[in-house]
Amino acid sequence: MGAAMSLFNNVSADTLKAIKEQAPRLLSNSAERFLPAGLRDVASEIVQLYESGWANDAIKQAGVRALLKAGQFTAVRELFLNTANPLLGGVTPLTAIDKIGRGGRRAQGNLFIVSLTPLDASVSDTPAFNVFATSVEYSPFTVTGEYQRIGGVLIDTITGNEAVELSMVTLDDAAGSIKRWFAQMSARIAAGDGTIGVPASYAIRIDVTHAFADSSDIPPEAYRDSGLFRCANLSTSLTRGENNLAELQLTFTQVDTFWS
């Protein structure tokens, strides 16, 4: 061991420098012999760029272009999956996929089930709203309060829950089934003879189930909002300038906030 160290100490500085300069080239040439034919030219081009002093980013871009040119699409895919991506928060796509997988299924806004059931069983011909509805918008929780000044501070005093207003956009059939149904339910609230109905005759139970589309297979853990509502407003717009399906804007207001 001592003899070997003394022999190494006798090597001149110029010789050591030459070994360091040529070692990467020797290793590169040795590695290229074991690469598939399609990757040898790519590796050679990358080494040449590195020895020419190119920036790392430029070398990576040139390497990807060379891989694509050589038809090495699998290698490009692996490079993409294992490279940090700023669009993903600076992590690799593989890491992002793993985080998404561990985060559980995401709720989709275009998956929902809506049902409307009048409390009065004598109401007939209730349309299949879940088939016609294209969007539902509402705020299920609104708690209001007022600030009261006590000395130099403010205290939040709760006044209670606010009634929910639910807006729904629906299509309709050529016979106007939804418009006719809405008119029938509105007449139960305020009749043409001036009388006012009772909630038992005009109240409607509306259920909205989130993140699912098949009403026959709703799991117990599905989130659902439910409440008693009445008809409030129906609006529509007709124009001959556009060839599209007619849409109705329906508005329902909550009858009461007990147990909501």
User: What is d(CA 177, CA 168) in angstroms, rounded to the nearest whole number?
Assistant: 16
Mean pLDDT of 103-125: 90
Residue 107 forms part of a structural domain: no
Q: Are 122 and 249 contained in the same domain?
A: yes
Q: Are 95 and 139 contained in the same domain?
A: no
- Helix-strand-coil split of the chain, %, nearest 5: 40, 25, 35
Q: Are 126 and 193 contained in the same domain?
A: yes
Residue 259 forms part of a structural domain: no
Residue 151 forms part of a structural domain: yes
Q: Which pLDDT band, with edges at 50, 70 and 90, does 185 fall under?
A: very high
Residue 50 forms part of a structural domain: yes
Q: Give the model's pLDDT for residue 5.
A: 47
Q: Give the model's pLDDT for residue 56.
A: 64
Q: Are 119 and 213 contained in the same domain?
A: yes
Closest CA to 250 of 181, 176, 166: 166
> Using an 8 Å Cβ cutoff, are 183 and 202 in contact?
no
**Residue 176 region, left (φ>0) first, then alpha (ψ -120 to 50), else beta?**
left
Which of 79, 102, 125 corresponds to the end of one domain?
102
Residue 260 forms part of a structural domain: no
Residue 122 forms part of a structural domain: yes
The answer, yes or no, to whether residue 22 has pLDDT greater than 60, is no
User: What is d(CA 254, CA 208) in angstroms, rounded to the nearest whole number?
Assistant: 14
Q: Which domain holds residue 33?
A: 2-102
- pTM exceeding 0.75: no
User: What is d(CA 163, CA 142) in angstroms, rounded to the nearest whole number?
Assistant: 8
Q: Which pLDDT band, with edges at 50, 70 and 90, does 8 fall under?
A: very low
Q: Give the model's pLDDT for residue 6.
A: 47
Lowest mean pLDDT among 17-26, 136-145, 209-218: 17-26
Q: Give the model's pLDDT for residue 109.
A: 94
Q: Are 95 and 116 contained in the same domain?
A: no
Residue 184 forms part of a structural domain: yes
Q: Are 92 and 120 contained in the same domain?
A: no
User: What is d(CA 55, CA 100) in angstroms, rounded to the nearest whole number?
Assistant: 33
> Using an 8 Å Cβ cutoff, are 63 and 69 in contact?
no
Which of 54, 80, 102 corresponds to the end of one domain?
102
Residue 45 forms part of a structural domain: yes
Domains: count for the chain:
2
Which of 41, 69, 102 corresponds to the end of one domain?
102
CATH number at residue 130: 2.40.30
Maximum alpha-carbon separation in the chain: 119
Q: Are 95 and 117 contained in the same domain?
A: no
Q: Are 44 and 165 contained in the same domain?
A: no
Q: Are 137 and 201 contained in the same domain?
A: yes
User: What is d(CA 168, CA 90) in angstroms, rounded to the nearest whole number?
Assistant: 40
Q: Are 148 and 94 contained in the same domain?
A: no
User: What is d(CA 173, CA 184) in angstroms, rounded to the nearest whole number?
Assistant: 17
Q: Are 148 and 238 contained in the same domain?
A: yes
174/60: higher pLDDT:
174
Q: Are 200 and 246 contained in the same domain?
A: yes
